[in-house]
Structure 1
Amino acid sequence: MNFLNNFTTESIASGIVIIILMIFRIISTKLVRKFAKSTHIIENRTNLVIKYIHLLINILAAIALIFIWGVSSKEIISGITSVATVIGVAGVVMIAQWSILSNITAGVLLFFSFPFKIGDIIQILDKDFPIVGEIEDIGAFHVTIKNKEGEQVIYPNNLFFQKGVSILPNLHEEKEFTD
């Protein structure tokens, strides 16, 4: 009980931040699902974007709680410096993380720009390694394409923003069957 008497303001502010966190999570989920439903976006992609948005909201709430509970800026800076030092020492790991982050970011951009969908036939305009095939899956890190020979080609999301992509007419679209 002594804790609540000493930290009443911080406790109330923390409760408000947690309530706001839950409200933002619910609202963002509903908005993304509404957008996905209106544009006929696949459920997997919708869930992925919701996870990213929830992560961002959680990070912002954690930062707010840090400031509410009075962590000094000197402690925050020393923590950030320690993390930056560890990341700097692990340079090779950092390069791998950059690739992962760029693919995740590209996956989110592909979700919102929605240039193609599963089932579309695309041609990646690369003079050295042109790829023509049907999109089988669009994930957080890569797109799975099935080429004419039946091979699965895994293509990183970030390369879609570096190469030209043509959406070809689908000759196998479902047509109404008449007898």
Structure 2
Amino acid sequence: MNEILQDYQSELTYTAIALAVFIIVRFVAVQTIRKVGRRSDINQVRTVLVGRYITFGLFFILIISFIFIWGVDFKELGLIVSSIFAVIGVALFATWSILSNITSGIILFFYFPFKIGDRIRILDKDFPEEAIIIDIQTFTINLKKDNGEFLTYPNNLLLQKGVVLIQKQVATEEDLESHF
């Protein structure tokens, strides 16, 4: 056992350092996301989802760092990476819309100036919409029009269109909960 520890001492040390850095960066990132969520009065469910996305990205970086720490042969790594990218490329092409909406959801979390309960107008020349924001989810934003119709609008389209704030906090918590 001592021979194994001595033979792989530097790899074990770097692995421990990488794990410590991962834990610290993840903790700081999640705390920052929670602080932004509280300060911006963002729904806690959205805050948790964004934290999970960031944790997944950091975990992916951790796995890559382990590959380099433990000295995977670069010729084999090139074959593995090219195969993975080929599969991911096909998968991303097939699901680009979903990934676009997830990315837009993260952007909306940090930048979107409107909150649940606000009345907005989406400036779309073909389908202009005016409604109250009922919920902002990972893929979509849920809206309620004055005539009672519910709209589900994709997050990526919301970033592409102009959005005008008509009135802040039109709906109360009770009003929003009664619509579901």
Q: TM-score, normalised by structure 1?
A: 0.86
CA 1:11–1:172 in structure 2 vs 1: closer, same or farther (change >3 Å)?
Answer: closer
- What residue number does 1:109 align with? 107
The DSSP-based 3-state class of the residue aligned with 1:136 is strand
Distance 2:24 2:56 in 1: 14
CA distance in 1, matches of 2:106, 2:142: 16
How big is the shift at 1:6? 2.1
Displacement of 1:124: 1.0
Question: Match of 1:31, as an amino acid?
Answer: T
**Aligned amino acid, residue 128 of structure 2:** P
Instruction: Give the Å deviation of 1:94.
Output: 3.6
> Residue 85 of structure 1 aligns with which residue?
86
Q: Which residue in 2 is equivalent to 1:43? A: 44
* 1:170 CA drift (Å): 5.1
- Equivalent residues in 2 for 1:1-179, closer than 5 Å: 1=1, 2-87=3-88, 90=90, 93-169=91-167, 172=170
Q: Which amino acid aligns with 1:59?
A: F
Structure 2 Cα separation of the partners of residues 28 and 87 of structure 1: 26
Q: Equivalent residue for 2:176?
A: none
Offset of residue 172 of structure 1: 4.4
| Structure 1 residues 142 and 96, CA gap change in structure 2 (3 angstroms) | farther
User: What is the distance in 1 between the residues matched to 2:129 and 2:152?
Assistant: 11
Aligned-partner Cα distance in 2 for 1:86–1:114: 33
State the alpha-carbon separation in 2 of the partners of residues 124 and 41 from structure 1: 21
In structure 2, the residue corresponding to 1:110 is in which secondary structure?
Answer: helix
Distance 1:55 1:86, change over 3 A: closer
CA offset digits 1:94-128 (Å, max 9, x no partner): 43321111111111111111221100111111121
SS in 1 for 2:95: helix
Q: CA deviation at 1:28?
A: 1.1
Once residues 63 and 169 of structure 1 are traced to their aligned partners in structure 2, the CA distance between those partners, rounded to angstroms, is 47
Contact map agreement 2:118 2:171 (CA 8 A) in 1: no
Name the CA distance, whole Å, in 1 between partners of 2:105 and 2:121. 18
Structure 2 gaps of 5+ residues are 173-180
Q: Indicate how the Cα distance of structure 1 residues 26 and 165 shifts in structure 2: closer, same or farther if over 3 A, else same.
A: same
In the TM superposition, what whole-angstrom CA distance separates every residue of 1:116-166 from its partner, at most 9, and x where no partner exists? Answer: 110011111112111111111101111011112212111000001211111
In structure 1, the residue corresponding to 2:153 is in which secondary structure?
Answer: strand
Query: Which portions of structure 1, spanning 4 or more consecutive aligned residues, are displaced by more than 6 angstroms?
Result: none
- Judge which range, 138-147 or 29-38, deviates more: 29-38
Structure 2 match to 1:177: none
8 Å Cα contact 2:134/2:143 also seen in 1: yes
